Amino acid sequence: MSDTKPNTVSAEWLYEQLGDEDLVIVDATVHLSTPPDGSVHIEPGLATYLEEHIPGAVYADLFTDFSDHEAPQPFTAASSERFATAAGAVGIGEGRRVVLYDQKNGIWAARLWWQLRLEGFDDAAVLDGGLPAWKAAGYPLSDEQVVPHGATFTSQHRPELVRSTEEIAASLDDPNTLIINALDPATYRGESPSYPRRGHIPGSINIPFGDLVDPSTGRLKPAAELREIFDKAGALNPDVKPVTYCGGGIAASGLAHALAAAGRSDVAVYDGSLNAWTADESLPLVEGPDPR
């Protein structure tokens, strides 16, 4: 589906596909901010979608429709049943090709990409560079709210692509599991007060999602560069299973997508991430630059 890396497409490729009946373009933008008081403010991206979006794109509300609101952590992946309803409502289903994008660096699009894979849907790709790349190429924009053509989505859940807190705790000394922290180095080292307790999961290494994106374009670095980064960290070793985490599963999904672009498509995401891990004071954390 891609002309650049697996699971990604370029703005040029997408422009050439506009109008294809089987193509569903989805804006998955969420606006997440942290006010000075340390709280987290979540705002769906519908308002900015209505201001400008790729012609024909529908809007998917990851927070409202694609998350489990009964879970203690925000953005916890929805149940297979809830996800199938939400995906079908925006036109994702059998016989459809899907391109996902957001108005930032692709992290929200990658989240929906991972959720689609979790529920057995593989014909989805992330627009490399998102809406900024589309605009930089000079392609047209629309402010018309698109009514989705509903589809039937049949979930085929892949439990091997998600990890629970209990499973992570049980794998801390498993040499066949490589736990990867996708947050910035300061947070990994425990220097940032972003969570109730500081530090990283014991044994986990740090590959910040921000290091995988070209800051000038918002696009993923070339596949060869990604492979070099992941190979150096041991994440391409076929004898280990990578599991990614962050604060709430979003950057972890971006890291899983980047690993897929580098050829590693079996990556699992610890969906609760530090929001869940730090909430349980019986679970260990390590401060400093070393994994243990």
Region of 190 (left: φ > 0; alpha: ψ -120 to 50; beta: rest) is: left
- What string of H, E and C letters represents the secondary structure of 193-257? CCCCCCCECCCCEECCHHHHECCCCCCECCHHHHHHHHHHHCCCCCCCEEEEECCCCHHHHHHHH
pLDDT band at residue 109 using 50, 70 and 90 as cut-offs = very high
Q: Indicate left, alpha or beta for 64 from its phi (over 0: left) and psi (-120 to 50: alpha).
A: alpha
Residue 68, C-beta contacts closer than 8 angstroms, at least 6 positions apart: 76, 77, 78, 79, 82
pLDDT tens sequence across 211-249: 999 988 889 999 999 999 999 999 999 999 999 999 999
Report the alpha-carbon angle 249-1-160, nearest 5.
35
The pLDDT, as a whole number, for residue 3 is 38
Bridge partners (DSSP) of residue 213 are: 220
Q: Pairing state of beta strands 30-33 and 41-44?
A: antiparallel
pLDDT at 137 over 60: yes
- pLDDT class for 4, splitting at 50, 70, 90? very low
Q: What share of the chain is helix, strand, coil (3-state, %, to 5)?
A: 30, 15, 50
pLDDT tens string 183-205: 999 999 999 888 889 999 999 99
Indicate the SS3 state at residue 37.
Answer: coil
Residue count (the chain): 292
Domains of the chain as residue ranges with CATH: 8-137 (3.40.250.10), 162-279 (3.40.250.10)
User: What is d(CA 101, CA 91) in angstroms, rounded to the nearest whole number?
Assistant: 15
From the list 183, 161, 186, the residue with the least C-alpha distance to 277 is: 183
The mean of the pLDDT values for the chain is: 93
**What letters, b where the CB count within 10 A reaches 16 and e where it falls short, cover 237-250?**
eeeebbbbbbbbbb
The residue-averaged pLDDT of 253-258 equals 98
> 67: which DSSP letter?
B
pLDDT in tens, 52-73: 999 999 999 999 999 998 888 8
* pLDDT score at 36: 62
Torsion of CA 263, 103, 16, 144, to 10 degrees: 150
Given this model, what pLDDT does residue 37 score? Answer: 59
Does the structure show a pLDDT above 70 at 35? no
Q: What is the pLDDT of residues 9-32, one digit of tens each?
A: 999 999 999 999 999 999 999 997
Place of tokens 């439990």: 159
For the segment 259-280, the average pLDDT, to the nearest whole number, is 96
Contact between 67 and 76 under an 8 Å Cβ cutoff? The reply is yes
Q: Which residue has the higher pLDDT, 114 or 19?
A: 114
Q: How confident is the model at residue 39 (pLDDT cuts 50, 70, 90)?
A: low
Per-residue tokens: 115: 């959720």
Residue 259 has pLDDT above 80, yes or no: yes
Other C-beta atoms closer than 10 Å to the C-beta of 46 total 16
Once rounded to an integer, what is the mean pLDDT over residues 133-157? 95
